[in-house]
Every structure is written in structure tokens, then in C-alpha cells.
Amino acid sequence: MGDTLRSQTVRTKLQRIAAQAARYPEMVFTTLAHLIDVDFLREAHRLTRKKGAPGVDGVTAEEYAENLEDNLADLHERMRSGRYKAPPVERTWIKKEEGSLRPIGKPTFEDKIVQRAVAMLMGAIYEQDFHEFSYGFRPGRSPHQALIAVREQCMDMNINTVVDADVCGFFDNIGWQQLMEVIKKRVNDGALIRLIGKWLHAGVMENGVLFHPVKGTPQGGVISPILGNIFLHHVLDEWWEKVVKPRMRGRCFLVRFADDFVVGFELEDDTRRFMAVLPKRFGRFDLTIHPEKTRQIAFGKPDTGSNSGRVNDTFDFLGFTHYWSPSRRGYWVIKRKTARKRLRRTMRALWTWCRNNRHQPFAEQYKLLCLKLRGHYAYYGIRCNQRAMKQVLYRTEKAWQYWLSRRSHKGYVSWEKFKVLRTVHPLTKPRIYHSI
């Protein structure tokens, strides 16, 4: 059987599950694990990212693929018999913008395949349940679609206040018992439930020492995004749609991307009522709304009657600062620019890269810098953000010239010399990728 035919067989299975989930929204699925056969695992392997660092077993994607068919057959047999053991996640730390450390998890490659297979099954079911205003880690959805939704609804609904919410360490603080209770309302297959339990209890390996957290989803795990979406669908989305929104007197909206969400209100009184109950709702599930980072922001259209002369604030969402500004034709519109923290982080990262790679061949530096800039523009390349992108380009050129000039005294590259060099080898210029 060819790879294309195998992939089509797996897609057919998922489509049938999705159709059943859509037709019977109250149905609890109890027999799903048998669908994960060798072909299903092979498709999960195909969809699993191959460039990640190896986990605690040291096996890379290339090494696993050398004997792929035997490895998948053995993996399927261990899963079928219940002998599969979830390995611990290797943890490293990276420095965040404000100086604190952020944990990064590295699961084993084989464990990623199993998590991908389970995520594919659960995604087919829950995609039928998730609401339209949820955009994070879902097929066919992107951060830019969430940005479009925020802008359009703020302008169309005459939104006057925005709640920019922040959940403290969401993925690290999900309660296991509560998560399992939420999942079992829709998926109660014993084999899948045991697999999820194994991942939650697998532990974390750091500097050769094994730790066992008592809450939170696997760091860096493929399964974590779908588990987080399922939990927040119950904690926030369903509560908003069935309880909060019907009680609001004015128009309002919610847009969520993973654990980052923005809520807009036409009436300020509705905003105050929502802010009063939001921490209590999350507290019921042992989650905390950050008291300082969660803000109620004045964000009404400046030239409307009650807002005439009113000073609006700005808010950050998905790496962009949103603000009101007059258009070229003179009417007020919402524009977006790269958030200051993201801009600083990008320029600092490019400066560090130029320093660490200054002794690499010039042609190699040029090629990689162009790739990095192109990747930055691919996300931040939206209308009205040209100034921030040009700033990134200018700072990159300055950093490149600075560190090229310090490769040796003999090879000093002045700014005048670099301008000539830049003419022959121009770095990628900013362009608009998203007309939003």
C-alpha cells in the first residue's frame, strides 16, 4: 500500500469520527484506541516535526527512521498490550525578556509520535465542539485570523473597553483531576485516558535528576496544545457563550489564542461585571488571573459622541500593539505595530547572532540573516507596521557591520565600506505579507 493511500485511509477514519462528533454533540466516545494501528502511527510520524532535539533516550528522528517499519510495529504492539511507558521529559531553561527563566521540555521522538496520534484522534472530535472565537493550535487557523477578528469586532461593535487578560502559568498549573473530568465528558476510552495519565505522571528530567510535578501538562509535548484547548474550552469558552454573553446588556466579543485572550465590551458596566467574576471563574479550576497584567482598557473610537476628547490606551495581543489612529482619508481606524517587547527581543537576538557568528564566511552570514529577516517579516508584515520592520532592518545592518568590523583589525569594515558592501549584498527588505 502506497504512502498516499495509507494517508487517505487515516484521513477517512478521522473524517468519520469528526462527522459522528458533529452529528451527536452530547455523545461520549468510548472506543477510539483501536483506530491507532501501524498506518495511523506512520501518518503520525509523517506529521511529527523532525528537527527537534532528542529527548532523554538520545534518539534523533533520523535514527528512528532508519528502521521505521520495525520501530512502528514494535510501538504499536506495546500500545496495544498496554506496555507502552511514557518517558520523562528532559527540561532546559531559557531566559525571558524580563529576566526570568522559562522551562523548555524535550520529549523523546517516539513519544512525540504517540502524542501526535492521540492528538489527531481527539482533535477530530473536539474540532466539532470548539467555538469560532478560538484560534490557537487549530488546523486552518492562524494568529493573523485572530488579529483580524479583534480589529473587525472592535470597529463594528462600537467597542469602548477591552479586557486584556493574562493567566498565570496556564500550562504549568492545569489540575490533573479536573482535566481528566473535563475530557471524560466527551472522550472516555480507557486506553487513551491511561495514555494521557502516563504523560501527566511521566516526570521531568533535569541535570540527571527526575522530578514529578503534581500538576500541569507535558512541557514541549505535542499533546499539550489540544489538552490546553479542551480545558479552556470548558473553563472559559463555554462559560462565556452560555453564561456571560447572554447576561451582557451591550454588544461584546471574545477572541482566544491558546491561553491568551481579549474581551471587548460596548458598555463599561458590562466590563466591570465581567472583571468581577473572571478571577472567581478561573479560581474554581485552580487557575489564577494575573492581577497586574490583566487590565481594563479604554479603547473606544475617539470621535464618537461620548468618547470625544477621551484618551485611549493601547493593548498588546499576539505580538502586536493595537491602537486607534486616523487613516489617510481622515477617519479613525485600528492599526497594529510590533509590540515594544517583541521588537526589543528581536533586535537583541539579531545582535547576539551577529556577534556569535561573526567569524563565519561572509556569504553564509548573508544567507542566514536574509532568512531570519524574511521569517520576521512573514509574521509582522502587516499594513501600518512598515516603520517597525524598517527599524529591525536598520538595527540588523548596524549589528552586522559592528561585528564584521571586529573580526580582526586587518579586516575592519567601516560604515562607509559597509554601505558599498550592502549595495552588492542587500539584506531582505520589509514587505507586506498580510493585508489585515
Q: Are 306 and 135 in contact (CB under 8 A)?
A: no
Spell out the per-residue pLDDT of the chain, length 436, in tens.
567 777 888 999 999 999 999 999 999 999 999 999 999 999 999 999 998 888 899 999 999 999 999 999 999 999 999 999 999 999 887 766 555 677 788 899 999 999 999 999 999 999 999 999 999 999 999 999 999 999 999 999 999 999 999 899 999 999 999 999 999 999 999 999 999 999 999 999 888 889 899 999 988 889 999 999 999 999 999 999 999 999 999 999 999 999 999 999 999 999 999 999 999 999 999 999 998 889 999 999 887 555 555 567 899 999 999 999 988 888 899 999 999 999 999 999 999 999 999 889 888 999 999 999 999 999 999 999 999 999 999 999 999 988 988 876 655 677 777 778 878 889 999 999 988 6
β-strands 161-165, 260-265: how paired? antiparallel
Nearby residues of 123 by Cβ (< 8 Å), 6 or more positions away: 138, 139, 226
| Burial class for 427, CB neighbours closer than 10 Å (0-12, 13-18, 19+) | middle
> 3-class DSSP state for residue 324?
strand
Quick count: other Cβ atoms within 10 Å of Cβ 149? 19
In whole angstroms, give the CA distance from residue 199 to residue 111: 9
Q: Are 336 and 382 in contact (CB under 8 A)?
A: yes
Cell 528502521 locates to 67
Which residues partner with 93 through β-bridges?
103
CA-based R_g, the chain, Å:
25
Kind plus residue range of the DSSP H or E element containing 147: helix 143-156
pLDDT tens digits along 352-393: 999 999 889 888 999 999 999 999 999 999 999 999 999 999
First vs last Cα of the chain: how many Å apart? 44
pLDDT, position 96: 63
pLDDT tens digits along 44-77: 999 999 988 888 999 999 999 999 999 999 999 9
In whole angstroms, give the CA distance from residue 386 to residue 375: 15
In whole angstroms, give the CA distance from residue 148 to residue 133: 11
| Burial class for 91, CB neighbours closer than 10 Å (0-12, 13-18, 19+) | middle
In whole angstroms, give the CA distance from residue 242 to residue 223: 27
pLDDT, position 306: 52
> 3-class DSSP state for residue 360?
coil
Which pTM was predicted?
0.91
